[in-house]
Amino acid sequence: MTKHLLTLSIHSLAHDGRGIACGNAATVMGKIIFVSGALPGDNVRARLLGVKKSFVEAETLEFLSRSQAIAPQCPHWEHCGGCPLQCMAYPEQLRWKKILAEENLTRIGRLERGRLRKIFPPVEPSPNLRQFRNKMEFAFDADRTGTVIAGLRERRTGNILAVPGCMLMPPEALSLAQKAAEFVQNGRLAPYGHARRGFWRFLTIREAYTTEDAAGPKWFCLCLTSPGASKEHRIVRKLGERLLGEFSSMATFVHEERKNRDTVSTGQKRIIALNAQGQSKAEAVMLHLPLGGKMFGLDIASFFQVNTGAAETLAGLAQDFFNDAGSAALLDAYCGVGVPGLLLAPRSENVFGFDRDKRAVALARDNASRMGLTHCRYTTADAVDILSDGAASYGTVLLDPPRAGIQTEALAALMTQRPQHILYISCNPATLARDAALMAKSYSLERLAGADIFPHTPGLECVSLWRKKERGKFAETD
């Protein structure tokens, strides 16, 4: 067994929050070692978990010495995979987020490191480090004793872990999840869990306003299940009625189904929505969240930044960068419900947004209308189709894609159109770097900034402004 134990010095941080080891063990292995539970500067005894083709995986068993580590703020830190950097002082978290983004942009994006350091300021911090989320997805499962859990995934196994002391949301949200788990426990329908075989899948809890002028926020719950018949639908309705009856601060309960056997928390069919008065409907459920001095209307299933305070910082950066571009026409790709394009609209003569999600596009139109922004138009379309034809007529193209980044074909089409500016907002520095490698052939990176939407994780939201090069210019390289 001792041959599987390693003594390691942690010198760097991986993009998933694991430590990267160096020293005799790393030299003997001849491969990079990723060590869960360890941070840069730590010296640890670790257990070997597996040897892959190009790297080794290990987990920390004992700290021989620690460097600038702080006590974890959450009782679940040791096992939960949600906040891997929780034992790192917050200024160090921000420093490492910037380092990781720079590494991606130089290694994958092939941008010049010296130039990056000149234009990339320190990461903007999150205003709050606890209870900053307005949304959380709890997965249903059962532990070894058969007790039903509505919790988060463990760091290494992916199993569901109960998190009654989680620091990311207020206690009432955690109580809602616990009550839902108790209801499932007392019934005959099994949780979906890690095995992907049961009925109950996710409970998404969201804090938002019921109307634009509501006095305070309420809770909205979306329960995702496997497909069922009328009997199962009645059982889920009972859960909704139970939660609405016990929590006066809860506004709406929605039931959706997903047929695919995966661990995605997005519904494919809406069954019913219940409000606090017990009235039911099966249509869009409106809620409102503030950003940039405006109230955005969205459906309970719509995408919106989960850290409202940090989203304000991100929106401010986008507005500042757009002012630098100084263009009158804006093409808003991946527009969603209209954020952040509608925040830039007052500085633009013409805004045209598109998205593949019909429901999101309808909400974007509604938001523009309520804000009196009559010069904003929206349509349902695929990015490849729109970016292949007419993008050049817009002075600035706003790209705010999902975590996977821009489709290869869509980005290639945009590069042939060559608009004057590209304002790219990315929640994943790795995919930003991948896309930067292509954009840098025709565009120069003028400005870059990061906002910390997800404290205690390696994740970073980046805003970048790209300016079209004159013909004949070449990409920046190391």
Q: For residue 254, give the nearest of 207, 284, 222 by alpha carbon.
A: 222
Q: How confident is the model at residue 3 (pLDDT cuts 50, 70, 90)?
A: low
Tell whether the model's pLDDT for residue 272 goes beyond 70: yes
Pair type for strands 19-22 and 32-36:
antiparallel
pTM (two decimals)? 0.92
Q: How confident is the model at residue 26 (pLDDT cuts 50, 70, 90)?
A: low
443 DSSP β-pair partners? 468
What b/e string do you get for 309-346 counting C-beta neighbours within 10 Å, with b at 16 or more? ebbbbbbbbbbebbeebebebbbbbbbbbbbbbbbbbe
Q: How confident is the model at residue 251 (pLDDT cuts 50, 70, 90)?
A: very high
Tens digit of pLDDT for each residue in 412-463?
Answer: 999 999 999 999 999 999 999 999 999 999 999 999 999 999 999 999 999 9
Amino acid letter, residue 221: C
Q: How confident is the model at residue 282 (pLDDT cuts 50, 70, 90)?
A: low
Tell whether the model's pLDDT for residue 472 goes beyond 60: no
Amino acid letter, residue 143: D
Quick one: what percent of the chain has pLDDT higher than 90? 80
pLDDT at 10: 94
Pair type for strands 329-333 and 294-299:
unpaired
pLDDT at 403: 87
Higher pLDDT, 443 or 3: 443
Tens digit of pLDDT for each residue in 421-432?
Answer: 999 999 999 999
| CATH assignment, 135-289 | 2.40.50.1070
Same fold, 2-69 and 135-289: yes
Q: How confident is the model at residue 29 (pLDDT cuts 50, 70, 90)?
A: low
Q: How confident is the model at residue 474 (pLDDT cuts 50, 70, 90)?
A: very low
Average confidence (pLDDT) over 116-133: 97
Tell whether the model's pLDDT for residue 478 goes beyond 50: no
pLDDT at 78: 84
Tell whether the model's pLDDT for residue 20 goes beyond 70: yes
Higher pLDDT, 201 or 80: 201
Tens digit of pLDDT for each residue in 62-108?
Answer: 999 988 789 888 999 888 988 999 999 999 999 999 999 999 999 99
Higher pLDDT, 52 or 230: 230
Q: For residue 210, give the nearest of 271, 273, 292, 146 by alpha carbon.
A: 273
Tell whether the model's pLDDT for residue 464 goes beyond 80: yes
Tell whether the model's pLDDT for residue 327 goes beyond 80: no
Averaged pLDDT score across all residues of the chain: 92
Angle between helix 230-246 and 171-185 (nearest 10): 140
Q: How confident is the model at residue 367 (pLDDT cuts 50, 70, 90)?
A: very high
Tell whether the model's pLDDT for residue 172 goes beyond 50: yes
Angle between helix 408-417 and 429-439 (nearest 10): 40
Q: For residue 204, give the nearest of 177, 184, 185 by alpha carbon.
A: 177
Highest mean pLDDT among 12-21, 57-66, 232-241: 232-241
CATH of the structural domain 95-127+306-468, one choice from 2.60.40.10, 2.40.50.140, 3.10.20.30, 3.40.50.150: 3.40.50.150
- Residue 8 to residue 223: CA distance in whole angstroms: 44
Tokens of residue 452, six digits: 């910390």
2-69: CATH topology: OB fold (Dihydrolipoamide Acetyltransferase, E2P) (2.40.50)
**What residue spans define the domains of the chain?**
2-69, 95-127+306-468, 135-289
